[in-house]
Chains A and B, each alone.
Chain A
Protein backbone atom coordinates (compact mmCIF):
# COMPACT_ATOMS: atom_id res chain seq x y z
CA UNK A 1 0.00 0.00 0.00
CA UNK A 2 1.23 3.47 -0.78
CA UNK A 3 1.95 5.64 2.22
CA UNK A 4 0.70 9.10 3.06
CA UNK A 5 1.71 11.60 0.41
CA UNK A 6 2.01 15.33 0.82
CA UNK A 7 2.43 18.01 -1.83
CA UNK A 8 4.34 20.11 -2.34
CA UNK A 9 7.38 19.01 -0.36
CA UNK A 10 8.85 22.51 -0.20
CA UNK A 11 7.32 25.97 -0.40
CA UNK A 12 8.68 29.48 -0.12
CA UNK A 13 6.21 32.31 0.44
CA UNK A 14 6.35 35.91 1.60
CA UNK A 15 4.56 37.51 4.52
CA UNK A 16 0.91 38.27 3.87
CA UNK A 17 0.45 35.59 1.23
CA UNK A 18 -1.68 32.51 1.67
CA UNK A 19 -0.77 28.87 1.07
CA UNK A 20 -2.57 25.57 0.53
CA UNK A 21 -1.01 22.23 1.41
CA UNK A 22 -2.36 18.88 0.26
CA UNK A 23 -2.41 15.44 1.84
CA UNK A 24 -3.47 12.10 0.39
CA UNK A 25 -4.01 9.46 3.09
CA UNK A 26 -3.31 5.76 2.91
CA UNK A 27 -6.01 4.03 0.89
CA UNK A 28 -8.94 3.13 3.13
CA UNK A 29 -8.00 5.56 5.89
CA UNK A 30 -10.78 7.97 6.78
CA UNK A 31 -9.13 10.08 9.46
CA UNK A 32 -6.59 12.77 8.57
CA UNK A 33 -4.74 14.92 11.11
CA UNK A 34 -2.37 17.83 10.66
CA UNK A 35 0.57 18.83 12.85
CA UNK A 36 3.01 21.72 12.83
CA UNK A 37 6.65 21.04 13.74
CA UNK A 38 9.02 23.86 14.71
CA UNK A 39 12.33 23.84 16.59
CA UNK A 40 10.89 26.01 19.36
CA UNK A 41 7.43 24.54 19.91
CA UNK A 42 8.01 20.99 18.75
CA UNK A 43 5.09 19.03 17.31
CA UNK A 44 1.71 20.65 17.78
CA UNK A 45 -1.71 19.38 16.75
CA UNK A 46 -3.61 21.55 14.26
CA UNK A 47 -6.83 19.66 13.45
CA UNK A 48 -8.36 16.29 12.65
CA UNK A 49 -10.92 15.37 10.00
CA UNK A 50 -13.05 12.28 9.69
CA UNK A 51 -15.54 11.71 6.88
CA UNK A 52 -15.28 15.36 5.81
CA UNK A 53 -16.01 16.69 9.32
CA UNK A 54 -13.56 18.51 11.54
CA UNK A 55 -13.77 16.74 14.87
CA UNK A 56 -10.96 18.30 16.82
CA UNK A 57 -8.95 21.50 16.59
CA UNK A 58 -5.75 22.60 18.27
CA UNK A 59 -4.91 25.97 19.69
CA UNK A 60 -4.08 27.86 16.50
CA UNK A 61 -5.50 31.12 15.15
CA UNK A 62 -8.30 31.19 12.62
CA UNK A 63 -5.77 31.83 9.84
CA UNK A 64 -5.22 28.08 9.87
CA UNK A 65 -8.05 26.14 8.30
CA UNK A 66 -8.58 22.84 6.59
CA UNK A 67 -11.01 20.60 4.85
CA UNK A 68 -11.45 17.01 3.80
CA UNK A 69 -12.95 15.72 0.59
CA UNK A 70 -15.19 12.73 -0.01
CA UNK A 71 -12.17 10.64 -1.10
CA UNK A 72 -10.52 11.45 2.29
CA UNK A 73 -7.86 13.70 0.73
CA UNK A 74 -7.30 16.77 2.85
CA UNK A 75 -6.02 20.28 2.40
CA UNK A 76 -4.92 22.87 4.90
CA UNK A 77 -4.79 26.56 4.24
CA UNK A 78 -2.87 29.29 5.99
CA UNK A 79 -3.88 32.86 5.19
CA UNK A 80 -1.95 36.08 5.83
CA UNK A 81 1.31 34.26 6.40
CA UNK A 82 3.61 35.37 9.21
CA UNK A 83 7.32 34.65 9.66
CA UNK A 84 6.45 32.37 12.58
CA UNK A 85 4.46 30.10 10.30
CA UNK A 86 7.71 28.74 8.88
CA UNK A 87 7.62 25.09 9.84
CA UNK A 88 7.37 21.50 8.72
CA UNK A 89 3.68 20.63 8.30
CA UNK A 90 2.96 16.95 8.78
CA UNK A 91 -0.15 15.08 7.77
CA UNK A 92 -1.11 11.76 9.35
CA UNK A 93 -3.83 9.27 8.48
CA UNK A 94 -5.47 6.44 10.34
CA UNK A 95 -8.18 3.90 9.50
CA UNK A 96 -10.55 5.26 12.11
CA UNK A 97 -10.48 6.74 15.55
CA UNK A 98 -8.94 6.05 17.89
CA UNK A 99 -6.21 4.30 15.95
CA UNK A 100 -2.54 4.49 15.12
CA UNK A 101 -1.57 7.47 12.97
CA UNK A 102 0.79 7.11 10.02
CA UNK A 103 2.70 10.18 8.90
CA UNK A 104 3.64 11.59 5.54
CA UNK A 105 7.04 13.16 4.74
CA UNK A 106 5.80 16.67 5.43
CA UNK A 107 5.75 20.00 3.61
CA UNK A 108 8.54 22.40 4.51
CA UNK A 109 7.10 25.95 4.45
CA UNK A 110 9.45 28.91 4.57
CA UNK A 111 7.97 32.39 5.00
CA UNK A 112 10.25 35.30 4.04
Chain B
Protein backbone atom coordinates (compact mmCIF):
# COMPACT_ATOMS: atom_id res chain seq x y z
CA UNK B 1 0.00 0.00 0.00
CA UNK B 2 0.85 3.66 -0.07
CA UNK B 3 3.29 4.99 2.49
CA UNK B 4 5.16 8.17 3.40
CA UNK B 5 8.49 8.33 5.20
CA UNK B 6 9.77 11.60 6.58
CA UNK B 7 12.86 12.40 8.56
CA UNK B 8 12.73 11.79 12.26
CA UNK B 9 12.72 14.78 14.50
CA UNK B 10 12.93 16.77 16.47
CA UNK B 11 14.76 19.40 14.44
CA UNK B 12 16.12 22.42 16.29
CA UNK B 13 17.39 25.45 14.39
CA UNK B 14 18.38 29.00 15.08
CA UNK B 15 16.41 31.84 13.54
CA UNK B 16 17.39 32.56 9.91
CA UNK B 17 18.87 29.07 9.42
CA UNK B 18 18.11 26.95 6.34
CA UNK B 19 15.52 24.22 6.75
CA UNK B 20 15.19 20.89 4.97
CA UNK B 21 12.76 18.17 5.99
CA UNK B 22 13.08 15.06 3.87
CA UNK B 23 10.05 13.15 2.62
CA UNK B 24 9.89 10.09 0.38
CA UNK B 25 6.86 8.13 -0.68
CA UNK B 26 5.71 4.80 -2.04
CA UNK B 27 2.63 4.71 -4.24
CA UNK B 28 1.28 2.52 -7.01
CA UNK B 29 0.03 5.33 -9.23
CA UNK B 30 0.54 9.07 -9.57
CA UNK B 31 -0.30 10.65 -6.24
CA UNK B 32 -0.75 14.26 -5.28
CA UNK B 33 1.69 15.36 -2.57
CA UNK B 34 1.13 17.73 0.33
CA UNK B 35 2.82 19.37 3.27
CA UNK B 36 0.61 20.19 6.24
CA UNK B 37 1.62 22.07 9.40
CA UNK B 38 0.19 21.67 12.88
CA UNK B 39 0.67 24.32 15.55
CA UNK B 40 0.23 23.36 19.22
CA UNK B 41 -3.38 22.66 20.11
CA UNK B 42 -4.64 23.13 16.57
CA UNK B 43 -5.68 21.08 13.56
CA UNK B 44 -3.73 20.70 10.35
CA UNK B 45 -3.19 23.60 7.95
CA UNK B 46 -2.33 23.03 4.32
CA UNK B 47 1.11 24.51 3.66
CA UNK B 48 1.64 23.60 0.01
CA UNK B 49 0.87 20.94 -2.56
CA UNK B 50 1.97 19.53 -5.92
CA UNK B 51 -0.17 17.38 -8.17
CA UNK B 52 2.25 16.10 -10.80
CA UNK B 53 5.91 15.38 -11.41
CA UNK B 54 8.25 18.40 -11.44
CA UNK B 55 5.58 20.67 -9.96
CA UNK B 56 6.87 23.01 -7.28
CA UNK B 57 4.57 23.96 -4.44
CA UNK B 58 5.34 27.12 -2.49
CA UNK B 59 3.82 29.18 0.30
CA UNK B 60 5.09 31.54 3.03
CA UNK B 61 8.70 31.01 1.93
CA UNK B 62 8.42 27.21 2.02
CA UNK B 63 9.00 25.18 -1.14
CA UNK B 64 8.85 21.54 -2.20
CA UNK B 65 9.35 19.93 -5.62
CA UNK B 66 7.62 16.72 -6.73
CA UNK B 67 10.45 14.42 -7.84
CA UNK B 68 9.05 11.29 -9.43
CA UNK B 69 12.45 9.80 -10.24
CA UNK B 70 13.47 9.82 -6.56
CA UNK B 71 9.89 9.58 -5.19
CA UNK B 72 10.60 12.56 -2.97
CA UNK B 73 8.95 15.81 -1.87
CA UNK B 74 11.44 17.51 0.45
CA UNK B 75 10.36 20.67 2.27
CA UNK B 76 12.77 23.64 2.29
CA UNK B 77 12.86 27.19 3.60
CA UNK B 78 15.76 29.55 3.23
CA UNK B 79 15.41 31.43 6.51
CA UNK B 80 13.24 30.10 9.32
CA UNK B 81 11.53 32.22 11.96
CA UNK B 82 10.51 31.46 15.53
CA UNK B 83 6.90 31.46 14.34
CA UNK B 84 7.67 28.46 12.07
CA UNK B 85 7.98 26.23 15.14
CA UNK B 86 5.40 23.48 14.63
CA UNK B 87 4.96 19.87 13.51
CA UNK B 88 5.22 19.31 9.75
CA UNK B 89 3.49 16.41 7.99
CA UNK B 90 4.17 15.11 4.52
CA UNK B 91 1.16 13.38 2.91
CA UNK B 92 -0.03 11.86 -0.32
CA UNK B 93 -3.41 11.17 -1.84
CA UNK B 94 -4.17 8.78 -4.60
CA UNK B 95 -7.27 7.76 -6.46
CA UNK B 96 -9.83 9.41 -8.66
CA UNK B 97 -13.57 9.72 -8.65
CA UNK B 98 -13.67 9.00 -4.97
CA UNK B 99 -12.24 5.53 -5.23
CA UNK B 100 -9.62 4.94 -2.60
CA UNK B 101 -9.39 8.67 -1.99
CA UNK B 102 -7.70 9.39 1.32
CA UNK B 103 -4.60 11.07 2.73
CA UNK B 104 -1.69 8.93 3.87
CA UNK B 105 0.58 10.79 6.28
CA UNK B 106 4.15 10.55 7.44
CA UNK B 107 4.87 10.46 11.18
CA UNK B 108 5.49 14.19 11.40
CA UNK B 109 8.62 16.24 12.16
CA UNK B 110 8.73 18.60 15.12
CA UNK B 111 10.58 21.82 14.27
CA UNK B 112 11.74 24.19 16.99
CA UNK B 113 13.28 27.51 16.00
CA UNK B 114 15.19 29.40 18.68
CA UNK B 115 15.70 33.17 18.63
Interface, chain A (partner B; CB < 8 A)? 4, 6, 31, 33, 35, 42-43, 45, 48, 50, 55-56, 58, 90, 92, 97-98, 100-106
- Is A98 a contact of B32 with CB atoms below 8 Å? yes
Complex: chain B residue closest to A101, CB-CB: B103
Query: Which among B44, B95, B99 is the interface contact of A103 at CB below 8 angstroms?
Result: B44
Of A4, A45, A55, A106, the residue contacting B103 (CB under 8 A) is A45
Are B43 and A55 interface neighbours, CB within 8 A? no
**Cβ contact within 8 Å between B98 and A56:** yes
A-chain residues with CB within 8 Å of residue B108 when the two chains form the complex: 42-43
Which residues of B are at the interface with A, using a C-beta cutoff of 8 A?
32, 34, 36, 42-46, 49, 89, 93, 95-108
Residues of A within 8 A of B102 (CB): 33, 45, 48, 56, 58
| A-B complex: 7 closest residue pairs judged by Cβ atoms | A43-B105, A103-B44, A103-B43, A97-B98, A45-B102, A105-B43, A55-B98
B residues near A33, Cβ cutoff 8 Å? 102-103
A98 in contact with B93 given A103-B44, A103-B45 (CB within 8 Å):
yes
* Cα-based distance from A48 to B93 in the complex (angstroms): 13
A98 neighbours in B (Cβ, 8 Å)? 32, 93, 95-98, 101
Chain A residues near B34 (CB-CB < 8 A): 100
User: Can you list 15 residue pairs at the A/B interface with Cβ under 8 Å?
Assistant: A31-B101, A35-B103, A42-B106, A45-B102, A55-B99, A56-B98, A58-B102, A90-B43, A97-B96, A98-B96, A98-B101, A101-B46, A103-B44, A103-B45, A106-B43
Q: Provide the bound-state CA to CA distance between A74 and B102, in Å.
A: 16
Residues of B within 8 A of A58 (CB): 102
CB neighbours (8 Å) of A97 from chain B are: 95-98, 101
A100 pairs with B101, CB closer than 8 A: no
Nearest B residue to A50 via CB reads B98
Q: Give every chain A residue within 8 A of B32 (Cβ-Cβ).
A: 98
CA distance A45 to B32 in the complex (A): 16
B107 in complex: contacting residue of A4, A31, A42, A100, CB < 8 Å: A42
